[in-house]
Chain A
Amino acid sequence: MEENYKYNKVFEKEYDVIVIGAGHAGCEASLAPARMGLNVLTMTVNLDHVAFMPCNPSIGGPGKGHIVREIDALGGEMARNMDETMLQIRMLNTTKGPAVHGLRGQADKKKYHLRMKQLLEDEPNLDLKQEIAEVLVVEDNKIKGVITKTGILFKAKKVVITTGTFLKGKVIIGEATFNAGPNQQYPANRLSESLNELGFELRRFKTGTPPRINKRSIDFSKMHEQKGEKDLTFSFDSEPYEREQVSCYLTYTNDKTHEIIQDNKMRTPLFSGIIEGVGPRYCPSIEDKVVRFPEKGRHQLFLEPEGEFTAEYYISGLSTSLPEDVQYDLLSTIPGLENAEIMRPGYAIEYDCFDPNDLRLSLETKKIKGLFSAGQINGTSGYEEAAGQGLIAGINAALSLKGKEPLILDRSQAYIGVLIDELVTKGTEEPYRMMTSRAEYRLILRQDNADLRLKEIGYNLGLISEKRYQDFLNKKEDIEKTLDFMRNYQVTPTPENREQLKSLDSGALKKPVKLAKLLKRPEVDYDDLRFFAPDLPEVCQEVKDQVSIQIKYKGYIDRQMSQVEQFKKMEHKLIPQDIEYDSLENIRLEAREKLKKVKPRSLGQASRISGVSPADISVLMIYIEQQERENKDEKK
Chain B
Amino acid sequence: MNTMKEDTIAAIATPFGTSGTGKVRMSGPEAIKIGEKIFEATSNIKLTEAKSHTAHHGFVVDPKNDKTIDEVLAILMINPRSFTGENVVEFDCHGGMVPLESVLELLLENGARMAEPGEFSRRAFMNGKLDMAQAEAIIDVINSKTEKSLSIAVEQLKGGLSDKVNNIKDKVVTLLAHLEASIDFPEDEIEGFDSSQLNERLEEIKNPLKDLIKTSKQGKLYQEGIKTVIAGKPNVGKSSLLNYLLQENRAIVTDIPGTTRDIIEEYINLEGIPLKIIDTAGVRESDDLVEQIGVEKARTSLEEADLVLMMLDVSQGLTEEDIKVYNLIKKLPTIVVINKTDLDKKVDVKKMQKKFSEHPLLLISVKEEKGLEELKDTILEEILQEKINTDNEVLVTKVRHRDALIKALDSLQKVKKSLDEGMPYDFLTIDLKDVLFNLSSITGETVTEDIIDQIFSDFCLGK
Chain A interface (Cβ within 8 Å of chain B)?
56, 61-63, 92-93, 95-97, 99-100, 102, 280-284, 289, 292-293, 296, 299-300, 302, 316-317, 319, 435-438, 440, 442-443, 522, 553, 556, 559-560, 566-567, 569-570, 573, 586, 603, 607, 610, 613-615, 617-619, 621-622, 625-626, 629-630
In the bound complex, residues from chain B placing their C-beta under 8 Å from that of A619 are: 139, 142-143
Distance, CA A440 to CA B452, complexed state (A): 13
In the bound complex, residues from chain A placing their C-beta under 8 Å from that of B429 are: 437
In the bound complex, residues from chain A placing their C-beta under 8 Å from that of B142 are: 586, 615, 618-619
In the bound complex, residues from chain B placing their C-beta under 8 Å from that of A95 are: 424
Is B216 engaged at the interface, CB distance under 8 Å to the other chain? no
Q: B460 is contacted by which of A289, A443, A522, A559 (Cβ under 8 Å)?
A: A289
Distance, CA A93 to CA B180, complexed state (A): 12
In the bound complex, residues from chain A placing their C-beta under 8 Å from that of B425 are: 96-97, 100
Cross-chain contact B183 with A96 (CB below 8 angstroms)? yes
Cross-chain contact B460 with A93 (CB below 8 angstroms)? no
Q: Kindly provide the distance from the CB of A12 to the nearest chain B CB, expressed in whole angstroms.
A: 48
Distance, CA A625 to CA B119, complexed state (A): 15
In the bound complex, residues from chain B placing their C-beta under 8 Å from that of A443 are: 426-427, 430
Cross-chain contact A293 with B146 (CB below 8 angstroms)? no
- Closest 9 interchain pairs by CB? A282-B462, A437-B180, A435-B184, A96-B424, A614-B3, A316-B463, A293-B460, A615-B146, A97-B426
A295's nearest neighbour on chain B, judged by CB, is B460
B131's nearest neighbour on chain A, judged by CB, is A629
Q: A99 is contacted by which of B189, B426, B451, B455 (Cβ under 8 Å)?
A: B426
Q: B187 is contacted by which of A92, A293, A610 (Cβ under 8 Å)?
A: A92
Distance, CA A100 to CA B446, complexed state (A): 24
In the bound complex, residues from chain A placing their C-beta under 8 Å from that of B125 are: 622, 625
Count how many chain B residues have C-beta atoms less than 8 Å from C-beta atoms of the other chain.
49
B380-424 contact mask (Cβ, 8 Å, vs A): 1 or 0: 000000000000000000000000000000000000000001111
Cross-chain contact B139 with A622 (CB below 8 angstroms)? yes
Cross-chain contact B183 with A281 (CB below 8 angstroms)? no
* 6 examples of A-B residue contacts, CB within 8 angstroms: A100-B425, A300-B188, A586-B139, A603-B4, A615-B116, A622-B122
Most central of B118, B132, B462 by chain A CB within 10 Å: B462
Cross-chain contact A614 with B126 (CB below 8 angstroms)? no
> Taking A95-B424, A97-B423, A629-B132 as contacts, is the C-beta distance between A607 and B139 under 8 angstroms?
no
Distance, CA A610 to CA B183, complexed state (A): 26
Q: Kindly provide the distance from the CB of B121 to the nearest chain A CB, expressed in whole angstroms.
A: 9
Distance, CA A622 to CA B185, complexed state (A): 44
B216-258 contacts to A (CB < 8 Å): none
In the bound complex, residues from chain A placing their C-beta under 8 Å from that of B6 are: 569
Is B456 engaged at the interface, CB distance under 8 Å to the other chain? yes
Is B117 engaged at the interface, CB distance under 8 Å to the other chain? yes
> Taking A283-B463, A570-B4, A607-B2 as contacts, is the C-beta distance between A618 and B180 under 8 angstroms?
no
Distance, CA A284 to CA B463, complexed state (A): 7
Q: Kindly provide the distance from the CB of B188 to the nearest chain A CB, expressed in whole angstroms.
A: 7
Q: A299 is contacted by which of B122, B183, B460 (Cβ under 8 Å)?
A: B460
Q: A62 is contacted by which of B1, B122, B183 (Cβ under 8 Å)?
A: B183
Q: Kindly provide the distance from the CB of B313 to the nearest chain A CB, expressed in whole angstroms.
A: 57
Cross-chain contact A93 with B186 (CB below 8 angstroms)? yes
Is B362 engaged at the interface, CB distance under 8 Å to the other chain? no
Distance, CA A569 to CA B2, complexed state (A): 11
Cross-chain contact A92 with B186 (CB below 8 angstroms)? yes
Distance, CA A626 to CA B455, complexed state (A): 44
In the bound complex, residues from chain B placing their C-beta under 8 Å from that of A559 are: 430
A318's nearest neighbour on chain B, judged by CB, is B463
Q: Kindly provide the distance from the CB of A38 to the nearest chain B CB, expressed in whole angstroms.
A: 37
Q: Kindly provide the distance from the CB of A262 to the nearest chain B CB, expressed in whole angstroms.
A: 15
Cross-chain contact A618 with B116 (CB below 8 angstroms)? yes
Q: B186 is contacted by which of A62, A556, A573, A625 (Cβ under 8 Å)?
A: A62
Cross-chain contact A56 with B4 (CB below 8 angstroms)? no
Is B372 engaged at the interface, CB distance under 8 Å to the other chain? no
Cross-chain contact A625 with B126 (CB below 8 angstroms)? yes
Q: Kindly provide the distance from the CB of A385 to the nearest chain B CB, expressed in whole angstroms.
A: 14
Q: Kindly provide the distance from the CB of B353 to the nearest chain A CB, expressed in whole angstroms.
A: 48
B449's nearest neighbour on chain A, judged by CB, is A610
In the bound complex, residues from chain A placing their C-beta under 8 Å from that of B186 are: 61-62, 92-93, 96, 102
In the bound complex, residues from chain A placing their C-beta under 8 Å from that of B423 are: 97
Cross-chain contact A622 with B135 (CB below 8 angstroms)? yes
Q: A556 is contacted by which of B183, B427, B456 (Cβ under 8 Å)?
A: B427
In the bound complex, residues from chain B placing their C-beta under 8 Å from that of A560 are: 430
Distance, CA A228 to CA B402, complexed state (A): 52
B1-29 contact mask (Cβ, 8 Å, vs A): 1 or 0: 11111100000000000000000000000
Distance, CA A471 to CA B419, complexed state (A): 38
B421-458 contacts to A (CB < 8 Å): 421-427, 429-430, 433, 446, 448, 451-452, 455-456
Q: Kindly provide the distance from the CB of A62 to the nearest chain B CB, expressed in whole angstroms.
A: 5
Given contacts A437-B429, A440-B433, list 12 more A-B pairs with CB under 8 A. A97-B425, A102-B186, A300-B189, A437-B448, A586-B140, A607-B4, A615-B142, A615-B143, A619-B139, A622-B125, A622-B139, A629-B132
Cross-chain contact B2 with A621 (CB below 8 angstroms)? no
In the bound complex, residues from chain B placing their C-beta under 8 Å from that of A570 are: 2, 4
Is B75 engaged at the interface, CB distance under 8 Å to the other chain? no
In the bound complex, residues from chain B placing their C-beta under 8 Å from that of A438 are: 448, 452
B125-150 contacts to A (CB < 8 Å): 125-126, 132, 135, 138-140, 142-143, 146
Chain B interface (Cβ within 8 Å of chain A)?
1-6, 116-119, 122, 125-126, 132, 135, 138-140, 142-143, 146, 180, 183-189, 421-427, 429-430, 433, 446, 448, 451-452, 455-456, 460-463
Cross-chain contact A100 with B118 (CB below 8 angstroms)? no
Most central of A99, A443, A622 by chain B CB within 10 Å: A622
Cross-chain contact A296 with B3 (CB below 8 angstroms)? no
Distance, CA A570 to CA B183, complexed state (A): 29
Q: B117 is contacted by which of A437, A615, A625 (Cβ under 8 Å)?
A: A615
Distance, CA A292 to CA B460, complexed state (A): 8
Distance, CA A246 to CA B58, complexed state (A): 77
Q: Kindly provide the distance from the CB of A168 to the nearest chain B CB, expressed in whole angstroms.
A: 25
Distance, CA A319 to CA B461, complexed state (A): 12
Cross-chain contact A607 with B1 (CB below 8 angstroms)? yes
> Taking A93-B183, A293-B460 as contacts, is the C-beta distance between A610 and B446 under 8 angstroms?
yes
In the bound complex, residues from chain B placing their C-beta under 8 Å from that of A302 are: 187, 463
A584's nearest neighbour on chain B, judged by CB, is B139
> Taking A437-B183, A443-B430 as contacts, is the C-beta distance between A621 and B126 under 8 angstroms?
yes
Distance, CA A559 to CA B462, complexed state (A): 32
Distance, CA A629 to CA B430, complexed state (A): 41
In the bound complex, residues from chain A placing their C-beta under 8 Å from that of B146 are: 613, 615
Cross-chain contact B460 with A621 (CB below 8 angstroms)? no
Distance, CA A470 to CA B139, complexed state (A): 54
Distance, CA A293 to CA B460, complexed state (A): 7
In the bound complex, residues from chain A placing their C-beta under 8 Å from that of B140 are: 586
Q: Kindly provide the distance from the CB of A401 to the nearest chain B CB, expressed in whole angstroms.
A: 35
Q: Kindly provide the distance from the CB of A242 to the nearest chain B CB, expressed in whole angstroms.
A: 26
A104's nearest neighbour on chain B, judged by CB, is B187
Distance, CA A510 to CA B106, complexed state (A): 39
In the bound complex, residues from chain A placing their C-beta under 8 Å from that of B119 are: 618
Q: Kindly provide the distance from the CB of B97 to the nearest chain A CB, expressed in whole angstroms.
A: 25
Distance, CA A56 to CA B463, complexed state (A): 9
In the bound complex, residues from chain B placing their C-beta under 8 Å from that of A618 are: 3, 116, 118-119, 122, 142
Cross-chain contact A100 with B2 (CB below 8 angstroms)? no
Q: Kindly provide the distance from the CB of A546 to the nearest chain B CB, expressed in whole angstroms.
A: 18
Distance, CA A292 to CA B461, complexed state (A): 11
A604's nearest neighbour on chain B, judged by CB, is B4
A298's nearest neighbour on chain B, judged by CB, is B189
In the bound complex, residues from chain A placing their C-beta under 8 Å from that of B185 are: 282
In the bound complex, residues from chain B placing their C-beta under 8 Å from that of A317 are: 463
Distance, CA A613 to CA B122, complexed state (A): 16
B7's nearest neighbour on chain A, judged by CB, is A566
Most central of B4, B118, B429 by chain A CB within 10 Å: B4
Distance, CA A417 to CA B461, complexed state (A): 25
Q: Kindly provide the distance from the CB of B326 to the nearest chain A CB, expressed in whole angstroms.
A: 52
In the bound complex, residues from chain A placing their C-beta under 8 Å from that of B135 are: 622, 625-626
